[in-house]
Structure 1
């Protein structure tokens, strides 16, 4: 029997203390050999403390059994990961009595990963989480993840063929034969593996998703998994864990095809992010993703409360940034349909924020003018919002009122809106004249059958033009009388009669507007603003 001096006290990660034969372990471990050199063991009470030994007490025990069994061990899928990482940590490269070193034996076993069951892969990856540094640096983690993702791709491909079954040759080594019924149920749902991967930490998930992206995995499925993962993890996580999970989630989603990421889900992440104080770069990525598909958003999603310290009711700055990112590629990059859809939604949003007494004119105008003029076919909703804003902000300076009025395109106002504006004391006389002039020119163009562009600041009719408008209806009547309209031309006859009636009506409207313009100019110069009028209802 060897004297006590040949024994070594080993404290493993503060979990457990082992008393082992020093000579036995040093004969296999390069780390212990270097630690004790050529010591004969005459010194007593030798002790070594490990703080980060892979696998902890269990890992050390497996390694010690290997040494005491003269370099032989039963290596299985359930213990090979621990044994391999302990062997790397303890530098077990020595071959004793013709036996391969522990590192070489575990490497040979790891070559059989393709034959492991799904559950064995999960167990192996779960073990790696507790000693990630060693497992990752050795390339073991990426090897396991590659096998896992490859298995998922194989299963996904099988979903497209009802004839494929878990017992076919392609799946013979992919599944645990003891869980056949569970496996069959897996094939019946695309997202069967979501719950299996929820057990992993966010670092492991990040590595797995990057491999999925590299292997051209379906981005829609990846997105659904990440959203499911966040929901499951954040339910019981600490604030720091939630922040880290959310930031990593945003980073990963930003690398996916944006068509695979629902805009509604992004707004859900945004609401979560508000309370977590996520880093600025992640927040910018999230806003860019939302902005790039703003046409898919709902108006209610834009009603985000202002951050602390800002008096606005809603976060108008956020919406302005969304619009900036939406137009980032230029107006030509955004289709006309998408642009108009966003414009309609933003006009509704403008109407919601207009009554906010704390909203500054500069912010309000920036919001109104964030979209190009081509995005709106009509400015009636904008006029309604401007009117509402001026109603609430009655104390604006003349300069601020001019700023508000400058946001209007009077050429795109309906006749009803122009008539209301002409009598609206909250708008200047110049605005009223511009609106009526634009309508007068449009009526004249209809009568003359022209579509010549003309700037809205120079649209008043000259006396000669006014006289010409009065003669147009007579010309149509004379032309109709000269035509020899037979029964076969009855449709043409009806069209001419309709045109004659329309011209007469347009003449009446034009004369009415001409009178209104003169009255407005006189009243604006000679009277003061009357009591505030009720808000216009233009599109009800």
Structure 2
């Protein structure tokens, strides 16, 4: 090859064999110097085999030229990573060649990295990616990453000479953007997204972690990760997609929950479901979704059941979402958030209720997953329960009771209470509970309506006492009747009795309206003025 004496054969990674001068290379390489230091006399036909020299044949040729040129070579961003890694491998330190050692020269050049263009920095980092693990162990990958992240932290109007994405005209082969579009996109906050998607997962992971540690905007980071995942999926194999998904999810998990789009998380989950991602990845993804379940829609939750399951939708997945929401303090932190989730769950429960394969235990679990204060009304749950019992008409009385126990009768409207009391699909016991709850609501309504005070001798006092006594008497009769009611009687007989009690409730409503009419007349007829200083009469309560 080069030089007069070629007494050494070097087989580089099985790619190519070089014939070189042993003495010249040994004077710069500590690795070769130690290898031949114990040899005495004239030794010819020596051969060295390297299996993992960084950069392979190209790297060794650069090293050889450096040695034959007496320790001088051009070092620039396009070859510095290769020279640096090869120099570490060949142990080209100052202990061997003094000030002409290659390691020191490359490290000195790296100190000027801050003046490189954006494209030059990308070239150097791309070489580091191809030289793993040597680039990592030599420290040059970390230096390039630190410089790249520092460049991203610059304001968008930074000098193009130091951070413009097209300052040197370098583009990767997969980048098809025109020069004009590059110039316009640079001034957007995501101008760098497309430049980084070509890097491998290790580089992306290190860049993202560095941005997180330096407190970059988490919204921007999450958008980049979703962009990276979408871009790299094009043409990727199933195994590659799985690895990309797991990496993206692990990195998203490092960010603030509010910075990650709920819609995009559901998109990743649907993809992950078909890629056999790790259980740890699934848990993280479900936890992130659960923490912001109040941002979800009904369509988001309608995942088909896993393979081999009879029921229509994946109810267990939604239950895990709810668990994550509660563990994340959803109900404690904000009543508004918990009410949103409760409304969403009412819609979901109504959607899955007609599924004939949905077990009663799962239906009840959905209803009771959220604490009772999250719902102001159980009317939606009642309607879903009504559909469920209609589809599951073959349930035993005991199973129906277990389903109905999830219903809070105190939070049903009067109309819903009336409906439940006459609903043949519900067990007899629930009808009594609904009627008692309805009676209690009417008593409360009467008390709230008649809140003004009156004189003891007012014309309304007789009506007040009489109607109050009647009202209490009616309430006591219903309660006593409910207690004495034989719950084993036939449903038809039960409904007839309940309708009688319903009539009494209607009579109470009429009494209330009459009392209000009488008080209105009294208020209008009473004279006003200084001579009449007595207080207004109270309404009957």
Band the TM-score falls in, shorter-chain normalisation: 0.7 to 0.9
Matched, 1:153 2:153: yes
Contact 1:437 1:460 in 2 (8 A): no
| TM-superposed deviation, 1:478 | 4.9
2:133 partner SS: helix
Q: What is the aligned partner in structure 2 of residue 418 from structure 1?
A: 417
| TM-superposed deviation, 1:101 | 0.8
Contact 1:63 1:87 in 2 (8 A): yes
Matched, 1:251 2:250: yes
1:47 partner SS: strand
Deviations 1:380-416 (A, max 9, x none): 2211111111122222222211110101111222233
Q: What is the aligned partner in structure 2 of residue 11 from structure 1?
A: 11
Contact 2:93 2:102 in 1 (8 A): yes
| Counterparts of 1:296 and 1:464, CA distance in 2 | 45
Q: What is the aligned partner in structure 1 of residue 162 from structure 2?
A: 173
| Counterparts of 2:146 and 2:528, CA distance in 1 | 78
1:445 partner SS: helix
Residues 440-459 of structure 1 aligned to structure 2 (within 5 Å): 440-449=439-448
Deviations 1:409-448 (A, max 9, x none): 1122223322322222211111111112211211121112
Length-normalised TM-score, structure 1: 0.81
Q: What is the aligned partner in structure 2 of residue 74 from structure 1?
A: 74
| TM-superposed deviation, 1:223 | 0.7
Contact 2:291 2:330 in 1 (8 A): no
Deviations 1:339-363 (A, max 9, x none): 1111111111111111112211111
Contact 1:92 1:102 in 2 (8 A): yes
| Alpha-carbon spacing, 1:470–1:312, altered in 2? closer, same or farther (3 Å) | closer
| Alpha-carbon spacing, 1:485–1:125, altered in 2? closer, same or farther (3 Å) | farther
Q: What is the aligned partner in structure 1 of residue 23 from structure 2?
A: 23
| TM-superposed deviation, 1:450 | 8.0
Give the aligned length.
Answer: 476
Note the residue ranges of structure 1 that are not aligned, 5 or more in a row: 159-163, 452-458, 490-495, 504-540
Matched, 1:108 2:108: yes
| Counterparts of 2:236 and 2:527, CA distance in 1 | 84
Contact 2:3 2:21 in 1 (8 A): no
Q: What is the aligned partner in structure 1 of residue 117 from structure 2?
A: 117
Contact 1:71 1:96 in 2 (8 A): no
Structure 1's consecutive aligned runs of 4 or more residues displaced over 6 angstroms after TM superposition are 1-5, 180-183, 464-471, 486-489
Length-normalised TM-score, structure 2: 0.81
Q: What is the aligned partner in structure 2 of residue 462 from structure 1?
A: 476
| Counterparts of 1:129 and 1:313, CA distance in 2 | 46
1:483 partner SS: helix
Q: What is the aligned partner in structure 2 of residue 212 from structure 1?
A: 211
Residues 286-305 of structure 1 aligned to structure 2 (within 5 Å): 286-305=285-304
| Counterparts of 2:81 and 2:474, CA distance in 1 | 86
| Alpha-carbon spacing, 1:336–1:26, altered in 2? closer, same or farther (3 Å) | same
| TM-superposed deviation, 1:43 | 4.0
Q: What is the aligned partner in structure 2 of residue 315 from structure 1?
A: 314
Q: What is the aligned partner in structure 1 of residue 92 from structure 2?
A: 92
| TM-superposed deviation, 1:191 | 1.3
Q: What is the aligned partner in structure 2 of residue 483 from structure 1?
A: 523
| Counterparts of 2:421 and 2:28, CA distance in 1 | 97
Residues 255-266 of structure 1 aligned to structure 2 (within 5 Å): 255-266=254-265
Deviations 1:301-357 (A, max 9, x none): 101111123222111000001001111144652311111111111111111111112
| Counterparts of 2:33 and 2:407, CA distance in 1 | 84
Q: What is the aligned partner in structure 1 of residue 55 from structure 2?
A: 55
Q: What is the aligned partner in structure 2 of residue 386 from structure 1?
A: 385
| Alpha-carbon spacing, 1:228–1:46, altered in 2? closer, same or farther (3 Å) | same
| Alpha-carbon spacing, 1:468–1:234, altered in 2? closer, same or farther (3 Å) | closer
Q: What is the aligned partner in structure 2 of residue 529 from structure 1?
A: none
1:461 partner SS: helix
Contact 2:13 2:56 in 1 (8 A): yes
Contact 1:85 1:134 in 2 (8 A): yes
RMSD, matched Cα: 3.1
Q: What is the aligned partner in structure 1 of residue 239 from structure 2?
A: 240
| Counterparts of 1:2 and 1:121, CA distance in 2 | 32
Residues 189-228 of structure 1 aligned to structure 2 (within 5 Å): 189-228=188-227
